[in-house]
Structure 1
């Protein structure tokens, strides 16, 4: 059984509301498109702002698939398993923090443009 893509219900809701706006007040469609465009551009600008502010702390730079990868990058011979596990967990925390940082910067840019538009 094939499932629908994620957020299909939200897309259908947005289309229904757009059709409702078109039926009730067609002159507002360009305004809606303009505001959606501003928010989308703000999201892209927020993303590139994060990339330029933190070029060496991108979320994908902290991704590690397993302990062997960590062990190869640490370059410590006969390191105890506890050290490897702590390094692995530290990378997970850095990954989470960098993803959260990027989400906050993008959201702040989108909110700033949305409030000003």
Structure 2
């Protein structure tokens, strides 16, 4: 139960970094604070939404699960199957990157 809660806050360090950058800009150029907060919130929200959109749509093909399956196949000395599964896991990771990038760009453009 606790591990599932921590899984949901995996991107928390990025949020903390954005808040720290906001504090620095607020100190150096307070007149730009509204623009920065708006931009950072859209970026963070796009990344968060993109991640969860990918997990929701492709619940059956998560990159971590596929890499884990490839390692199990390699441990069973099924190298051909492990190689294929690593390829699938790599494609799933690239797919996730694409979905997250699309969500960030969509929110950044104001869609």
Same-fold status (TM-score > 0.5): yes
* Aligned residues between the structures: 88
Higher relative contact order (CA 8 A, sep 6+): 1
Give the 4+ runs in structure 1 shifted more than 4 A: none
TM-score calculated relative to the size of structure 2: 0.68
TM-score calculated relative to the size of structure 1: 0.64
1:8 counterpart residue number = none
**Higher share of residues assigned helix:** 2
Unpaired runs of 5+ residues, structure 2, are 1-16
User: What value does the CA root-mean-square deviation take over the aligned residues?
Assistant: 2.3
2:41 counterpart residue number = 37
Q: Deviations over 1:59-106 (max 9, x none)?
A: 1111133622xx3xxxxxxxxx6xx22101001101100000000000
Distance 1:43 1:50 in 2: 11
Larger-Rg structure: 1
